[in-house]
């Protein structure tokens, strides 16, 4: 390739790769910057009181500490403005694409591949570039990027890849002085730091030390593994990974802090380790494992043909190992693994690269997927974002195979191969990812897609109904709720949600009946108690309202909405001190509870506690609650405190939002004349 290839090598190569990945990602994901919060975003971000203050993140605690901290930082900068969350997710994806590029190049620098005959650095840069582009535009990755809550998957991948890249950089130099850091050992330290960060984002990072051991065995002389210092080098990574199972021990040990609780025994701890790593008890470990044989094959199919992607697959649970689908899936996976092993050793013996990287990609795929596709039951047996980390290694393997075919078999140059592969694979995948992102526009488009593809699963109908309800399409919501009940009448949340819809339609008798039906089906579900209590309060049935709201708090003592409901009931009856106490309790549990803050601010205003009213109004403004009523009442509070200039500023804000507000105009004129 001569001088024509210089622009893709060295420092230029990095700039080309970074620019290509950035452009590819923006073409696919730029349209998503204003997309709604979805599904788990509700409790992970929108209703998560923990992320409302960075003070809640010191001292560090919790397995997913780093991921939650990133959401808290987003909230500190932009509140619940969805734009900032999407920007961070997209930036993480760009960095991951660049890390895939760097990982591929470092693999070529290892002893296994660096001594290959007819080695071409230009070809290696092209393989790495194509791998990065594959990863950047793969349609399966849309769920980990566009679905904000799945930042856990993409951020864990960033640190996982960062650790692998830094460790390989250290390994190929063995501490020699390199680059601006002065010593390759610095990369080892950074790799350990990345490993610690990774395990504090998501549990899949548990596999990192095992992958590093594989990289040593597969790409470095086997005799080096026998050296004591080499074995010791892995210990920090295994200690970092041990934080994950140790967290389960801590969760059992926490029992001892409860009043009257005995210290946990060794049996408790062992039992905790055996039972805690199971998100659900509805699926046995056996059933989950045999189901995963088929799920992994489905992932492989989606890798090649990303057709009918779905947020909420209606995937059948396998209960028998000796069934045709399970056995055939297992045999296929064994064949793929065996073929990858064969290709690795054959290619390695001949000094090739394609088979070696194919073996690497297969190992990366199976190892990184093992936590979520093995014997640890998870309620949802299949999710596309679980493929995000595995896709990093697969992209490198796929790129290497493409170049093996086009460069050696067809005799094309690496640059021409970049162009051809982009046309026949990267561009179609980018187009598919772009189209797939359109489904994530809002909750209605998302759940309409789910219902279409999982017509027998009740959850899709329920969530589509909630989306219609929030959009004010109450009759459409009722249709979807009834469809959900027809699929699964045992979901207690459905009846509670139907009750909310009937309240919006002012059909209170039907709302009451559905709330009671939800309570009848589960006396531990607190939401219908709260909603029924608030309904009774709005109807003036205060005794019954108080009874149901207190029952909700008995079931869930930290339920902010129930405290707010009690405050409403007491305020309607004129018990202002009791109402203020309940509103303050609601705010203490949920600092973003706008309704409770508005009610408390207006209560303070009515009782002449103007400075306290101002505090609440100012806090509401910080929470992006900027309405004419807020500024008007804040102006009145300032006026009663004798702060006329401040009052003028607030009345002017009212008129800026609503120039026709005659009340604010009169107040403003009166205050200005008195100044």
Q: Residue 203 pLDDT more than 80?
A: yes
Residue 6's pLDDT band (boundaries 50, 70, 90)? low
Residue with tokens 């230029």: 12
For residue 132, CA distances in Å to 70, 219, 394 come to 25, 21, 11
Q: Residue 272 pLDDT more than 60?
A: no
Residue with tokens 């997710």: 89
Q: Take residue 550 and report the two structure tokens written for it.
A: 């207190």
Mean pLDDT of the chain: 88
CA distance 571 to 415: 74
Q: Residue 127 pLDDT more than 50?
A: yes
CA 298 to chain centre: 22
DSSP 8-state symbol, 33: T
Q: Which residues contact 347 (CB under 8 A, 6 or more apart)?
A: 353, 354, 355, 356, 358, 359
Q: Mean per-residue pLDDT for 587-598?
A: 89
Q: Which residue has the higher pLDDT, 417 or 166?
A: 166
Characterize 638-659 residue by residue with b for buried, 16 or more Cβ atoms within 10 angstroms of its Cβ, and e for exposed: bbeeebeeebbebbebbbebee
Q: Mean per-residue pLDDT for 21-47?
A: 91
- The ranges assigned to domains in the chain are 2-255+267-439
pLDDT at residue 591 in the model: 81
443-452 confidence digits (pLDDT tens): 999 999 999 9
Q: Residue 141 pLDDT more than 70?
A: yes
Q: Residue 31 pLDDT more than 80?
A: yes
Q: Residue 253 pLDDT more than 50?
A: no
pLDDT at residue 179 in the model: 56
Residue 175's pLDDT band (boundaries 50, 70, 90)? low
511-523 confidence digits (pLDDT tens): 999 999 999 999 8
pLDDT at residue 41 in the model: 85
Q: Which residues contact 5 (CB under 8 A, 6 or more apart)?
A: 122, 125, 414, 415
Q: Which residues contact 583 (CB under 8 A, 6 or more apart)?
A: 563, 564, 567, 596, 597, 599, 600, 603
* Phi/psi of residue 658, nearest 5 degrees: -145, 90
Q: Where are the alpha helices (DSSP H) in 224-383?
A: 228-233, 235-253, 266-275, 285-304, 324-349, 354-369
Q: Residue 263 pLDDT more than 80?
A: no
Q: Residue 265 pLDDT more than 60?
A: no
Name the helix (H) or strand (E) containing 428.
helix 427-439
* Phi/psi of residue 60, nearest 5 degrees: -60, 140
Q: Answer for the pair 586, 567: CB distance below 8 angstroms, yes or no.
A: yes
Q: Mean per-residue pLDDT for 378-398?
A: 95
pLDDT at residue 177 in the model: 58
Q: Which residue has the higher pLDDT, 661 or 93?
A: 93
Q: Residue 311 pLDDT more than 90?
A: yes
pLDDT at residue 226 in the model: 64
CA-closest candidate to residue 533, choices 587, 571, 585, 569:
569
Q: Residue 551 pLDDT more than 90?
A: yes
Residue 120's pLDDT band (boundaries 50, 70, 90)? confident
Residue 668's pLDDT band (boundaries 50, 70, 90)? confident
CA distance 545 to 548: 5
For residue 219, CA distances in Å to 214, 222, 341, 342 come to 8, 9, 14, 16
pLDDT at residue 183 in the model: 64
The region of weakest confidence among 180-184, 460-464, 579-583 is: 180-184
Alpha carbons within 13 A on the beta-carbon side of 581: 5
CA distance 307 to 432: 9
Most confident of 61-65, 222-226, 495-499: 495-499
Q: Residue 227 pLDDT more than 80?
A: no
435-494 confidence digits (pLDDT tens): 999 999 999 999 999 999 999 999 999 999 999 999 999 999 999 999 999 999 999 999
Q: Which residues contact 626 (CB under 8 A, 6 or more apart)?
A: 653, 657
Q: Residue 116 pLDDT more than 90?
A: no
Q: Residue 325 pLDDT more than 60?
A: yes
Q: Residue 255 pLDDT more than 60?
A: no
CA-based R_g, the chain, Å: 29
Q: Residue 414 pLDDT more than 70?
A: no
Q: Which residue has the higher pLDDT, 242 or 120?
A: 242
CA distance 380 to 288: 10
pLDDT at residue 622 in the model: 83
Q: Where are the alpha helices (DSSP H) in 138-234?
A: 142-146, 151-173, 185-199, 208-219, 228-233
């Amino acid at each position: 390739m001569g001088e024509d290839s210089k622009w893709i090598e060295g420092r230029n190569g990095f700039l080309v790769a970074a620019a290509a990945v950035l452009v590819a990602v923006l073409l696919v994901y730029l349209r998503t910057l204003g997309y709604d919060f979805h599904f788990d975003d509700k409790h992970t971000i929108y209703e998560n009181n923990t992320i409302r203050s960075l003070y809640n993140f010191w001292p560090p605690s919790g397995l997913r500490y780093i991921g939650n901290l990133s959401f808290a930082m987003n909230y500190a900068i932009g509140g619940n403005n969805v734009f900032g969350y999407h920007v961070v997710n997209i930036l993480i994806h760009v960095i991951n694409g660049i890390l895939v590029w760097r990982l591929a190049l470092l693999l070529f620098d290892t002893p296994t591949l660096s001594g290959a005959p007819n080695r071409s650095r230009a070809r290696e840069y092209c393989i790495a570039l194509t791998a990065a582009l594959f990863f950047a535009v793969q349609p399966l990755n849309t769920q980990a990027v566009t679905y904000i809550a799945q930042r856990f998957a993409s951020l864990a991948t960033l640190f996982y890849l960062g650790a692998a890249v830094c460790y390989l950089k250290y390994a190929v130099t063995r501490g020699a002085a390199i680059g601006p850091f002065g010593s390759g050992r610095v990369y080892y330290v950074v790799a350990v730091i990345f490993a610690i960060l990774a395990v504090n984002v998501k549990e899949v990072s548990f596999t990192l030390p095992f992958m590093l051991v594989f990289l040593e065995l597969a790409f470095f002389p086997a005799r080096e593994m026998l050296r004591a210092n080499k074995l010791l080098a892995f210990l920090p990574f295994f200690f970092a990974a041990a934080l994950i199972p140790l967290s389960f021990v801590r969760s059992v040990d926490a029992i001892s802090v409860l009043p009257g609780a005995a210290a946990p025994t060794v049996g408790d701890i062992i039992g905790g380790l055996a039972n805690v790593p199971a998100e659900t008890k509805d699926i046995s470990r056996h059933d989950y494992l045999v189901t995963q044989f088929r799920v992994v094959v489905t992932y492989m199919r989606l890798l090649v043909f990303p057709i009918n992607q779905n947020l909420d697959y209606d995937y059948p649970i396998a209960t028998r190992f000796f069934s045709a689908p399970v056995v055939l899936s297992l045999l296929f996976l064994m064949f793929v693994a065996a073929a990858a092993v064969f290709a690795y050793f054959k290619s390695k013996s001949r000094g090739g690269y394609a088979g070696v990287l194919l073996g690497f990609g297969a190992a990366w795929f199976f190892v990184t997927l093992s936590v979520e596709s093995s014997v640890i039951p998870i309620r949802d047996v299949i999710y596309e974002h679980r493929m995000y980390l595995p896709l990093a290694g697969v992209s490198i393997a796929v790129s290497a195979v493409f170049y093996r075919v086009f460069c050696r078999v067809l005799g094309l140059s690496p640059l021409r191969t970049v162009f051809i592969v982009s046309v026949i694979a990267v561009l179609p995948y980018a187009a598919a990812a772009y189209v797939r992102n359109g489904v994530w526009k809002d909750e209605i488009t998302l759940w309409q897609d789910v219902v279409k593809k999982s017509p027998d699963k009740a959850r899709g109908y329920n969530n589509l109904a909630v989306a219609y309800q929030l959009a004010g399409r109450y009759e459409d919501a009722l249709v979807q709720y009834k469809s959900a009940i027809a699929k699964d009448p045992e979901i207690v949340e459905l009846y509670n949600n139907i009750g909310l819809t009937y309240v919006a339609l002012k059909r209170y008798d039907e709302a009451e009946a559905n709330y009671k039906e939800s309570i009848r089906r589960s006396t531990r579900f607190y939401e219908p108690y709260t909603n029924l209590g608030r309904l009774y309060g709005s109807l003036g049935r205060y005794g019954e309202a108080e009874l149901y709201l207190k029952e909700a708090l008995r079931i869930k003592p930290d339920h902010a909405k129930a405290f707010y409901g009690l405050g409403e009931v007491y305020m309607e009856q004129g018990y202002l001190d009791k109402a203020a106490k309940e509103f303050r309790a609601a705010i203490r549990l949920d600092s973003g509870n706008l309704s409770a803050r508005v009610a408390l601010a207006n209560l303070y205003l009515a009782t002449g506690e103007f400075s306290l009213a101002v505090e609440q109004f100012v806090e509401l403004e910080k929470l992006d609650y900027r309405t004419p009523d807020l500024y008007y009442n804040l102006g009145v509070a300032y006026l009663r405190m004798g702060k006329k200039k401040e009052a003028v500023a607030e009345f002017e804000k009212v008129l800026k939002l609503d120039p026709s507000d005659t009340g604010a105009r009169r107040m403003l004129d009166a205050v200005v004349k008195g100044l």
